[in-house]
Amino acid sequence: MLKPNKSEALGNESISSLLIKQALPASIGILVMSLNILVDTIFVGNWIGSIAIAAINVVLPVSFFIAALGMAIGIGGSSIISRALGANDKAKALKTFGNQITITFLLTVSMVVLGLVFINQLIPAFGGKGDIFDPAKIYYRIVLYGVPVLAFCMMGNNVIRAEGKPKFAMIAMIIPSLGNLILDYLLINVLDMGMEGAAWATTASYICCFFYVLWYFLSDNSELKIDFSHFGLDLPILKEMSALGFVTLARQAVVSITYLLMNNILFELGGEASVTVYAIIGRMLMFALFPVLGVTQGFLPIAGYNYGAQNYSRVRESIKLAITYACGVALVIFALIMIFPESIVSVFTQDEAVLRDTPWAMRWVFAAIPIIGIQLIGSAYYQAIGKATPALLLTLTRQGFFFIPLVLILPNYFGELGVWISFPLADTLSTIVTGYFLWRETRLKLETGTTEKN
């Protein structure tokens, strides 16, 4: 008799029940991770200073991009694993997982070496100028040591979810978050280690997560029991994994470019204070959107498994419910941000310039959040079913095709306001584009059962 958390449940249980079971642990995991980032920012801002917040924000694009290699490999491979399990092809699932481990190690270690070699060039390029440079360099060097471990955790977390084990994936996200908060208190507040303490707390928390993920795959909880033969690289699997994973990697690359542009543009417009404003808003975006991202994460294995099983009616139902849930929670988030921005900002810092400028900027940034679920679920759908090209294009619409051009143009006419209004404009335009393609997919393909892989 099958255990209730076996992957076959993705094809049998009601979509509503599955989506809640998958999305709730994912949401809790993202919530705790986001709270970690949020509280970490509060600790750093109050115990070290507002410049430290800006310094960490400068380092994020580089460390996030290398960690995104692990996430990209995890999501790309997990799409294959979900569909392989749905099609009863266990051998392909095992080979895919082995290849994920090998390529994660090779790529992330190479990227860390390059990141350390070019440290003095990368930090100023991402906005680490003036008083921000020295604390950013301290934080950057230490955190970079732990990024390959984080990449393995991100990769493993997505594989765990692909097996239909969201609770274990949730725990894997909670461990580094709680560990970082405890170590932040000890190293920054008790031992007074400043930026070094903040950086070592982050790195040590990644290591704790790695050991948990390793335990999961070595235990009886995982269906994926690989041996050394699975580590050998398989070209067809690598091609499919790369095509799907490139979607996530491209998205994170665009995020890193966005940080680069924003930090530099805002530094020119308003100095260190404006960079700090963006850092706080960025943390709030990560935190506030946790339930929307949780629904998206929960949706991925359901859509992928049922698509692999050619059960298109369940795929269609999962899309509709995921969008409904995502937009519903986004509307609640929107209301809270619009009503309480001043109270939110005062938690981070008492810097008068930051307290004055952040609330109105935050309202602009969150203005189109109620519709963002359509864009996230739409692009995730194509990734889940293995359609790399539309997944890539739709993923890039929000920040790549719309936001970056807008943020390069509008500040020339509206100053700092032009930066902030670029957010809702990009969200609206990308949602319209994604909504059209998703409507065409569900109406013309999924309903007739004539879906073809691109």
The predicted structure's pLDDT at residue 186: 92
* Residue type, position 299, single letter: F
Whole-angstrom distance, CA of residue 188 vs CA of residue 184: 6
Per-residue pLDDT reduced to its tens digit, 90-104: 888 889 889 988 998
Stated as kind and residue range, the H or E segment containing 425 is helix 416-441
Burial (CB < 10 A; 0-12, 13-18, 19+), residue 135, is buried
Cα dihedral across residues 6, 7, 8, 12: positive or negative: positive
Is 247:389 a contact under the CB 8 Å cutoff? no
Structure tokens at 136: 């950013």
> Whole-number mean pLDDT of the chain?
83
Is 79:244 a contact under the CB 8 Å cutoff? yes
Task: Return the minimum-mean-pLDDT range out of 28-42, 167-181, 205-219.
Answer: 28-42
Mean pLDDT value of segment 422-427: 95
Per-residue pLDDT reduced to its tens digit, 363-381: 999 999 999 999 999 988 9
Asked whether residue 287 carries a pLDDT value surpassing 80, the answer given is no
Pairwise pLDDT comparison (148 vs 2), residue with the higher score: 148
Is 128:58 a contact under the CB 8 Å cutoff? yes
The predicted structure's pLDDT at residue 208: 92
Pairwise pLDDT comparison (241 vs 428), residue with the higher score: 428
| Of 428, 373, 434, 379, residue with least CA distance to 403 | 428
| CA 254 from centre of chain | 12
The predicted structure's pLDDT at residue 449: 53
Per-residue pLDDT reduced to its tens digit, 183-224: 988 998 889 888 888 889 988 988 999 999 999 989 888 878
The predicted structure's pLDDT at residue 33: 65
* Residue type, position 31, single letter: L
Whole-angstrom distance, CA of residue 72 vs CA of residue 82: 15
Residue % of the chain over a pLDDT of 70: 94
| Of 264, 262, 210, residue with least CA distance to 403 | 262
Residues 6+ apart with CB under 8 A from 198: 40, 43, 44, 48, 52, 56, 139, 184, 187, 188
pLDDT band at 4 (very low <50, low <70, confident <90, very high): very low
CA distances from 187 to 55, 131, 145, 192 (A): 18, 23, 18, 6
Per-residue pLDDT reduced to its tens digit, 251-279: 777 877 887 888 889 888 888 788 888 88
Is 34:290 a contact under the CB 8 Å cutoff? yes
Whole-angstrom distance, CA of residue 137 vs CA of residue 144: 11
Is 348:308 a contact under the CB 8 Å cutoff? no
Q: What are phi and psi of 273, to 5 degrees?
A: -65, -40
The predicted structure's pLDDT at residue 6: 56
Residues 6+ apart with CB under 8 A from 265: 407, 411, 419
Asked whether residue 403 carries a pLDDT value surpassing 90, the answer given is yes
Asked whether residue 173 carries a pLDDT value surpassing 60, the answer given is yes
Residue spans per domain, the chain: 12-233, 235-453
For residue 238, how many other CB atoms are within 10 A of its CB? Answer: 19
pTM: 0.67
The predicted structure's pLDDT at residue 454: 42
What end-to-end distance do the CA atoms of the chain give, in Å? 37
When mean pLDDT is compared over 7-11, 40-44, 420-424, the highest value belongs to 420-424
* Residue type, position 374, single letter: I
